[in-house]
Structure 1
Amino acid sequence: QHNNPNRIAASLMSYVLGGGSSSRLFMNLREAKGYTYGAYASLSPDEIIGSFSADASVRTEVTDSAAYQFFYELDRMTKRSITEEELDAAKAYLTGSFGRSLESPSTIASFALNTEIYDLPKDYYKNYLKNLNGVSVSEANEIALKYIKPNNAYLVIVGNVGEFEDQVAQFGEVKRYTKEGYPEEKKAVSADVTVD
């Protein structure tokens, strides 16, 4: 939720995982493996239930390998592995982003609106940078441990399923859906069809 006291620390944790070109997902899937032009993660607060997602567009032939690396990085985040250097980079980025946002009058207006709508502390934005830079490595790692649950993740893959279905079965049961989001019925094979 927007007024969750862990929100700022969670934003920093999310940036370390997939917030930019120096993040773990980007460095792994693009720089080290060359699977994609970019891999990212984002945290979306909501009044009912927030969501956390990570995504990339990859070549069909590396679909399973890329999925493996996503789970690898998610798991690594739960091992209290965030470093001081990574946290400092995240703080620098979010500090700069916040500063740039203040150049827009509409953003200032949205801050006032957000404070009322989401029941934020009246000094939330005034103290944002102080609270942001006050997050410790220990706190960031605790947040990762609390919110990142690789075993509860849904793996969604869009593409020519026939080319990677067997390979991605290692991650769990494969369920097919149409592009409209409806469950796809498996086509029955006629008894007249033979391997000849």
Structure 2
Amino acid sequence: MLDRTKAPEIHEIDAVTLQIAEVTHLSNGATLHSIISETQPVIRLDFVFKAGKWYEHENGISDMSAKMLLEGTVNHTAKQIAEKVDFYGASLDVNHGYDRTEITLYCMAKYVQELLPIVLDVIENPSFPENEFNLLKQRSQQNLKVQRQKNSYLATHAFTKLIYDDSHPYVFGYGEHDLDKVNREKIQQFYQDRFLTQDLEVFACGAIDRLTHQMLSSKIEKLQLNNSTKGVEREKETNRLTANKEAKVELVEMPESLQSSVRIGKRFPLMDTQNYQKLLVMNELLGGYFGSRLMKNIREDKGYTYGIYSAMSPKENDTLFFIGTDVKSSVTEDTINEVKKELANLRNEEAPAEELETVKNYMLGKFLNDINTIFEQCDKYKRITLHGLPQDYYNNYITTIRTITPPEVRAMAQEYLQEQDLTIAVAGKYC
């Protein structure tokens, strides 16, 4: 019988063991990564394309292209696709990002053979029906008008424009008239250039037996994929990341607003660099969880906000560090000054050992929770693959958390959080 008077034993986390994928290079140029788990009779398929915002020449084209994929093919209408997916109790989604676009199928393992042809039809034969495109564009433009009335949207948009430049693919959101220029012909051309290429990576995880693996390989191999030379040329053409050494400040005036949205930050190193994992610990201490310094000061002590956070957003060609909060307009300047004080404290003083130990335990526990399922483990493997990281990346992550010291955290702050390097954007009223 469980003795509830005794606390459970505590064990140190020395290393983690993630599922190893079986990698199959198919004759058409695609790569199939299979991670097998018989725990539950379900399968997830991720078709990952180099078709994110990074590869577009005009804002909105990659996003609209992705959204149009489920609006019909030459063989099925959007309604027929949705009905078949629903009939088998599955889900089929398209997710568009800065670097990649993903088509994801969740289904029972026994139904994957019936559903895979629908997914491949969506990939290979989208029809981009004109009427559906016009409706999608109208909805997207209306939604953009709504979003651009929100301080948080405008602050993040302005902040990323200051960090990069007006036309850079890593700028968040859209300008007021960006979607007006998108037409059906442009998204069809983007689809031809970026989706049917040999850059295709397929991640299959779940209850995949040998017959299922063979079936996936043979059917995916029949996709007619093109050499991706044209896409590589576009990538080089768009790759214009430059150092952001000069601090910048911008106010997006919203005279009727009672609140202000604040964004403060700068660019950080890529995931594969030496200091990235140490910076994750520093960020967690600063504003990465509910007990962080920013929360204790600006929420609990000053009462300026319901919530404030700091985050690192890694992409394949850059990493963005930023602090975000919404505050009453009258305390906007005070909030920014308090953030600067917390950054100065990180630079000038070593964190108490007990505080750092709390952060370490939180990060280790959260990591273990984040690899509970085979799907979450596949996500970690996918990140390693797409970012070109070593297979022992997450074991090194565990080691970094366990061994990092207060002087190392301070050194990271001194190197990467100098006040003169920060960019600040505010949307609302600056009283």
**Higher share of residues assigned strand:** 2
Match in the other structure for 1:137 = 406
Return the offset for 1:91: 0.7
Match in the other structure for 1:89 = 358
1:8 equivalent in alignment to 2:277: yes
Return the offset for 1:149: 2.0
Return the offset for 1:127: 4.1
Does the residue aligned with 2:393 lie in a helix, a strand or coil? coil
Does the residue aligned with 1:88 lie in a helix, a strand or coil? helix
Q: Work out which of the residue numbers 120, 131, 149 in structure 1 matches 2:418.
A: 149
1:102-157 Cα shifts (integer Å, max 9, x gaps): 11222211222222222222212234323320111121111111111211212211
Report if aligned partners of 2:343, 2:413 keep a CA contact under 8 Å in 1: no
Return the letter of the residue paired with 2:338.
Answer: Q
Report if aligned partners of 1:80, 1:142 keep a CA contact under 8 Å in 2: no
CA distance in 1, matches of 2:415, 2:426: 26
1:32 equivalent in alignment to 2:301: yes
The sequence identity of aligned pairs, in percent, is 28
1:125 equivalent in alignment to 2:394: yes
Does the residue aligned with 2:321 lie in a helix, a strand or coil? strand
CA distance in 1, matches of 2:350, 2:396: 27
CA distance in 1, matches of 2:398, 2:351: 20
CA distance in 2, matches of 1:122, 1:49: 21
Which runs of no fewer than 5 residues in structure 2 stay unpaired?
Answer: 1-269
Give the number of aligned pairs: 162
1:44-95 Cα shifts (integer Å, max 9, x gaps): 2233322111111111111111111111112222114322122111111110
RMSD: 1.6
Q: Work out which of the residue numbers 79, 85, 98 in structure 1 matches 2:367.
A: 98
Does the residue aligned with 1:119 lie in a helix, a strand or coil? coil
TM-score, normalisation: structure 1: 0.76
Q: Give matches, 1:48-67, under 5 Å.
A: 48-67=317-336
CA distance in 2, matches of 1:148, 1:62: 23
CA distance in 2, matches of 1:68, 1:160: 16
Report if aligned partners of 1:80, 1:145 keep a CA contact under 8 Å in 2: no
TM-score, normalisation: structure 2: 0.36
Match in the other structure for 2:125 = none
Match in the other structure for 2:288 = 19
Does the residue aligned with 1:36 lie in a helix, a strand or coil? coil
Which runs of no fewer than 5 residues in structure 1 stay unpaired?
Answer: 165-196
Match in the other structure for 1:182 = none
Change in 2 beyond 3 A, CA 1:114/1:144: same
Return the letter of the residue paired with 2:318.
Answer: I
Does the residue aligned with 1:155 lie in a helix, a strand or coil? strand
